[in-house]
Each structure stands twice: as structure tokens, then as C-alpha cells.
Chain A
Amino acid sequence: MKEDTKIKGFEAPIYFKYSYTAGATTTLFLKKLLEGKIVGQRCPICKGVYVPPRGSCPRDGVATEEEVEVAHTGTVESFTINYIPIPDGDVDPPFVSANIVLDGADLSFMHLISGIPHDEVRIGMRVKALWKPKEDWEPSLTNILYFEPLDEPDRDIDDLLNKYKNA
């Protein structure tokens, strides 16, 4: 080291191991994904179907127990084209991530969209899930590789969730 070298900083890495618990409701959701099903829960008060289910309806503050299987098709509520990779993600940018409302569900969740030029993705478009081969399934939403275009007319997004807004 040269005489005039000053140590300005050092890296002190931190490594911790954690055991993680999904919780009862997420476990239900993930187990159903292992069966190729997408399952949500309905709130007994507002009747809204949560996908993924959370065990409770934060809107009404009650437990949600009724299991509801939803379709693998849905509508794009909003989206963006990512030019920055997700840390630890599998997909190379640019890729489309979108908030999708599955048919039968009453709110959206985020997933990927592919199989269509990025500049043709639009709010209101209809999509369907493309699953990985069955032998590759895990208890994970990544069993669905992405959502691809469904040959149906676009839905009116303002119409879609109006029954709950401002209720």
C-alpha cells in the first residue's frame, strides 16, 4: 500500500438465515397452484373475491374463509414495460409487468405479459395464463410463466370494478 493511501471504507457483509412461514392462507393458495388451480377467498360482507387470498378482507376487517376458484383468463388493469431487471428475477428486460384482474376475482395482482409486441399491450386487453409444464410445478405463482393475449374484445376497465369503488 502506498504511504498516502487512506482507507475510506470497508465492506462488512451481513449474512442471516431465516425460516419462513407462508401462513395458513398463502399455503392454501400455493397448494392449489400445485394442482394447477387459482383459488381466492370471498369476503362474507362485501362479497369481493381476493386473489391471492389473504385470510382477511382489509376492507371489512373480517376473516375470509369461503374458497372460490377463479378462471385463468382475465383483463389487464394497468401495466408497464420494465427496462430495469427485477433483482433476483428470471426475466431479462425489457419485459411487461401488469396488474391483471382474473375473471371471478375482484381485484388485480401483478404478473408478466408476453407473446405480444410491447407497444400493442393495452389497458383493458384480455389475457390468459400460460402455465409451465406440469412436471416443473412448485407451490408458486411462477407456475404461470406469463399471461398471453386472449382473442376477445377489450373490456371497458372503468366498468369493470365500479361496483366496489366508493362503496
Chain B
Amino acid sequence: MQLDVHFAPWANTYDDAVRPHTMKAGEDLIGGLRKHDVWGRLGWLEIKRRYRRTIIGPFWTCLSLLIFVIVIGSVGSGLLSRQTAEYLPFLVAGMIVWVTLQNTLLESVNVFVAGTGIIRQMSFEYSILVYSLVWRNFIVFAHNLLVYLLIFLIFAPEKLGFANLLAIPGLIVLAVNCAWLSLLLGIVSLRFRDLQQLIMSIVQVAMFVTPLFWPPEGLEGLRRVLFVGLNPLYHLLTIVRDPLLGGKLPPVNSCIAAGLITIAGWSLTYAMFAKFRKRIPYWL
């Protein structure tokens, strides 16, 4: 095995190439990212396991999303008195992004516990576990794109075009944010096991509070500031959803907000990871 002792070029050097056997947070994050074959495989195997012994396999996630969108879409278009043909595409574009974000949040509280079998056996980049979690949720996103395509082909084929590919930069930003979210939640919830329950209830409420079933224009005044402007999930959602809705450019505000969230989130997460990385095996 090549558990080469990692060291940064800027670190102190010792005689005879003897290195301290430790890994720093930065080395972990960057070294882990480079091992894409490892996290790619771990993420992929998890998907394979989930659907082993089922007949339609990964398409279960598509089917359940499809059912959800059609049923909620029919009720919602009635409640909000909007055309089904107009409401369903709006709902599905939001839902495929939301499902990715939501599952990442829910799974991240267990990211290190699920990796116990590796953490207790060897020294490796813990960030690999985080990248594999984000990766597998984006594989699910790719599956769910089928539902998106289906709904749009039926109800709004004119809104499908190359301009929708503008969602790709948004998706990359979303993935970068999912990574810090799951690393941060993973660390904190390992030490404080209450967090899992807390995240579950937050995610549940956030689904209704974030403009997912209703358009952000539907709220006004203080409520709009509170649930739309100050809602980080809304900005991460909208930078992907708007381009999916017929190639619209997301609002500049949201792009700036998403950038700020990325910087702030990663700064906080990096500080936490640098401080507590060593404690992770002890907290398991």
C-alpha cells in the first residue's frame, strides 16, 4: 500500500526524509479531491447497493419524484390558481435541485459514522467520504433529470434549449456548497448527536418556507426579505433552477449571495476542520 506520508512543500523538512506522520486539513481537502477514482467509486458503489435486488433500480428515485411532482403539481396549481402546464415545469425544475440539496443535508450528519470501517483502519483523507457523498447525490440528480426532461417535453417543450445549459455553472457552485455543508454538519453532528434530529426538522420546514412550491414573487414586504432574500437555500436553489426554466439568467443578487455563501461557508468549515480533524476518530 502506498500510504505515503503526505507533506506540504512549505512544511518543515527533516533530515533523511523523515516526515511527521500527520495530515493537515488543507492536505486532506486537496489530496482527497485528487483521489477522484476513490470517491467516485465509493459514491457509485453506494448507489449500486441501494438498488441491488430491485427490478427498476435507480429509476425508483425518478418514479417517486414523478409521482410527487404530478400529485403535488395538480393540487398546487389548483391552490395557486395557475395553469398545470405552467406550474408543473416550475415545480419539477425546483424539485430536482431541492432533492439533491435535501438528501445531501440529511446524509451528511452520518458521513463520518458511515466511514467508520475506513477511519478505524487506516490514515486517509477524510474529505474523500464527503466528496463521495456529494458525488452520489449528483448521480441521483442526473437520474432525476429524466423526470425534468419528460415533464418539459410534455408541457413546455419550447422552454428546452441550449440556454438551459447555463444551469451547469450553478450546479458546480451548488456542489461546492454541498461539500462544505456536509463536511461541517458531519463534524458537528459527530460530536453532538442531537444535530441529526435538528437537521431533519429544519429540512422539513425549509421545504415549505423556501420558494419551491410557490414563486418568490408571491411574497411581499418583510416576509419576502425573510424567506427569500435572507434564505441561503433559496439562492443556491435559484442559480440552478432559473436556467432550467427556459434558460433564464438567475438574478444578480442571487449570484452574489451564492458567492458569499460559498466563501463564508468554506471559511467556517475550513477553520472547524483544521481545528477538529484530529478528533474525528476519537468522536466515532
- Bound together: no
User: Hey, which bits of chain B sit against chain A, CB under 8 A?
Assistant: none
